[in-house]
Amino acid sequence: MFKKAKRIKNLPPYLFARIDQLKEEAIRKGIDVISLGIGDPDQPTPLPVVEKLCEEALNPENHRYPSYEGLLEYRKAVADWYKYRFNVDLDPKTEVLSLIGSKEGLVHMLWGIIDEGDGVLCPDPGYPVYKIATILSGGIPYQIPLKAENNFLPKWEDLDSKIVKKCKAMFLNYPSNPTGAVIDKKGLEEAVSFAKENDLIIFYDNAYSEITFDGFVAPSILEISGAKEIAVEFGSLSKTFNMTGWRIGYAVGNPYLISILSIIKTNVDSGIFQAIQYAGITALNNLRDHPKESAKIYQKRRDMVLSAFEDLGIPIVPPKGTFYVWVPVPEGFTSNDFAALLLEEVGVLVVPGIGYGEYGEGYIRISTTIKEDRLITALERIKNFLRRDDWKSRRPSLLLK
């Protein structure tokens, strides 16, 4: 048999594939599964964006290879959005790059920066792609522990300076997947100072910048003075405009780092279908209030989840961003066992926190990207189950590992 590459062998087991299997098993057993697993907006892409795509798809000029770095018009729309939204000035020619979704950008960025053995600091719990991108590029992921007692924010002084010395870059992600925590400008200033003191590049993932609650407005790291010297921010139309399937995002910030990412991408892909870029321009230029409407929907759903767990005597600090709720697991269960139990006993799929790293143990992640009637049903089922006298003695027969 052919042998797979070491870099593939070194990848952590893909928990989400196992979760999909369990879901299939549960469905086969006749369970009506409600998925609060993956975070993927259930609301449609705004109609004007879809209409623009249709119009541009009919134009043969858009059928040819797009430019590698993205239409200048698209990059200008991103720069204008940054000016409007964050009061950040960007040169669309050198400080903005189009991405086929921000995930590919996060991965390709490291290919251009990381050599064999270089360390990369990754939030734990965090979006699994950071660790995976590090391993695929030959680097070594190190944890930035995010703990409840610190509001899931990094505590820079607690990091081991010997480890920090081995690192070339760090990922940061607020509003945070999976915890829903947010960071303010002061927190970002501390991150930038820490990075500068330790010669670290910051890759800031702002995928959820527009999904915030209770009046909180998420900053861009580029609002921090001097950040552009060391940081690239990744963003996406996926969550902001309900466009996960379209594959359109951007990287903005330090022009040297942007040029490196551009070199990798020029050699790997050939840009975003132009009709999609024109549709993206419509979203960024003409639909700037749309994300606020989406945020209202997610805030209402968040409150439904919080109140269900409040009723169960499990109070949760309301997350100020994202469409996730990070729920502590009742004592006596691992996150894997508790997630498997909920799936098997009540047909509700949630993601065990351990899937986001060692420090995710003790939590499950609930995603609210689901129609409200289904969310209500799922919460009712969880409540009824956790109110049973015997529930703690139940153990799942399905196994998550």
Determine the 3-state secondary structure of 86 from DSSP. Answer: helix
> Is the Cβ of residue 220 or residue 238 nearer to ligand PLP in the bound state?
238
Q: Are 207 and 177 in contact (CB under 8 A)?
A: yes
Closest distance of CB 249 from ligand PLP, Å: 4
Query: Is 37 an interacting residue with respect to ligand PLP (CB under 6 A)?
Result: no
For ligand PLP, which stretch binds (CB under 6 A), given 48-56, 62-70, 98-106, 368-376? Answer: 98-106
Closest distance of CB 178 from ligand PLP, Å: 8
> Is the Cβ of residue 123 or residue 187 nearer to ligand PLP in the bound state?
123
Task: Record the tokens describing residue 292, joined without a space.
Answer: 């606020």
Window 198-217: residues binding ligand PLP (CB under 6 A):
205, 207
Q: Distance between CA atoms of 160 and 113, rounded to whole angstroms?
A: 22
One residue of 41, 70, 101, 396 binding ligand PLP per CB under 6 A: 101
Q: Distance between CA atoms of 211 and 197, rounded to whole angstroms?
A: 31
> Is the Cβ of residue 102 or residue 254 nearer to ligand PLP in the bound state?
102
Helix axes 129-136, 102-111, angle to 10 degrees: 30
Query: Is 274 an interacting residue with respect to ligand PLP (CB under 6 A)?
Result: no
Query: Is 294 an interacting residue with respect to ligand PLP (CB under 6 A)?
Result: no
Query: Is 102 an interacting residue with respect to ligand PLP (CB under 6 A)?
Result: yes
Q: What are phi and psi of 26, to 5 degrees?
A: -65, -40
Closest distance of CB 115 from ligand PLP, Å: 24
Q: Distance between CA atoms of 235 and 249, rounded to whole angstroms?
A: 6
31-34, Cβ contacts within 8 angstroms, sequence gap of 24 or more: 31/343, 31/344, 31/347, 32/347, 33/343, 33/347, 33/348, 33/349, 34/347, 34/348, 34/349, 34/370, 34/374, 34/377, 34/378, 34/381
One residue of 82, 86, 111, 127 binding ligand PLP per CB under 6 A: 127
For ligand PLP, which stretch binds (CB under 6 A), given 184-192, 237-245, 274-282, 390-398? Answer: 237-245
Task: Record the tokens describing residue 122, joined without a space.
Answer: 């990754």
Element (H, E) at 352: strand 351-352
Return the DSSP state at 333: -
Closest distance of CB 109 from ligand PLP, Å: 12
Site string for ligand PLP, 58-97 (x = CB under 6 A): ----------------------------------------
> Is the Cβ of residue 98 or residue 102 nearer to ligand PLP in the bound state?
102
Identify the CA nearest to 168 among candidates 123, 228, 114: 114
Site string for ligand PLP, 156-195 (x = CB under 6 A): -----------------x---x------------------
Query: Is 220 an interacting residue with respect to ligand PLP (CB under 6 A)?
Result: no
> Is the Cβ of residue 229 or residue 269 nearer to ligand PLP in the bound state?
269
Using CA atoms, how far residue 15 sits from 52, 120, 351, in Å, is 37, 22, 9
| Percent helix, strand and coil across the chain, each to the nearest 5 | 45, 15, 40
Which strands make up the sheet holding 351-352, listed edge to edge?
324-328, 363-367, 351-352
Q: What are phi and psi of 240, to 5 degrees?
A: -65, -40
For ligand PLP, which stretch binds (CB under 6 A), given 62-70, 100-108, 311-319, 325-333? Answer: 100-108
Query: Is 108 an interacting residue with respect to ligand PLP (CB under 6 A)?
Result: no
Closest distance of CB 156 from ligand PLP, Å: 21
Q: Are 95 and 256 in contact (CB under 8 A)?
A: no
One residue of 219, 249, 347, 396 binding ligand PLP per CB under 6 A: 249
Please give the residue ranges that form the binding site for ligand PLP (CB under 6 A): 101-103, 127, 173, 177, 205, 207, 236, 238-239, 244, 249
